[in-house]
Amino acid sequence: QVQLVESGGGLVQAGGSLRLSCAASGLTFSNCNMGWFRQAPGKEREFVAAIRWSGSTTYYADSVKGRFTISRDSAKNTVYLQMNSLKPDDTAVYYCAAVTFKPMANLRKGSDYDYWGQGTQVTVSS
């Protein structure tokens, strides 16, 4: 019943921007911590960004700090990932994930999440 649907991926040239959206349904969005992960061909899934249920605390991978911004809109049950200054190394399938708030949850760890979207492809050309 829980569904996370990503959108906004596509092809962009290096230096460009994209904004990914993740629309959540079937859960109490305001009680969920949300995260973005990505997986490039031949590589392991890696953490990108996360945001606490309150929206007051965010986390970023070192590789995207200063370029990506995660945010959420409770009225729309949606979490966003604004990606600026994109590089070819950002090319990957990006996944949205959700977990009901738990104080011990490590939001940088994919296995701590309960729900995942289908993914959206981001391709950055050089």
User: Three-class SS string for the chain?
Assistant: CCEEEEECCEEEECCCCEEEEEEEECCCHHHEEEEEEEECCCCCCEEEEEECCCCCCEEECCCCCCCEEEEEEHHHCEEEEEECCCCHHHCEEEEEEEEECCCCCCCCCHHHCCEECCCEEEEEEC
Predicted pLDDT of residue 120 = 98
Predicted pLDDT of residue 30 = 81
In this prediction, residue 58 has a pLDDT band, given cuts at 50, 70 and 90, of very high
For residue 28, pLDDT over 90 is answered with no
Predicted pLDDT of residue 42 = 94
In the chain, pLDDT over 70 holds for what percent of residues? 99
For residue 56, pLDDT over 90 is answered with no
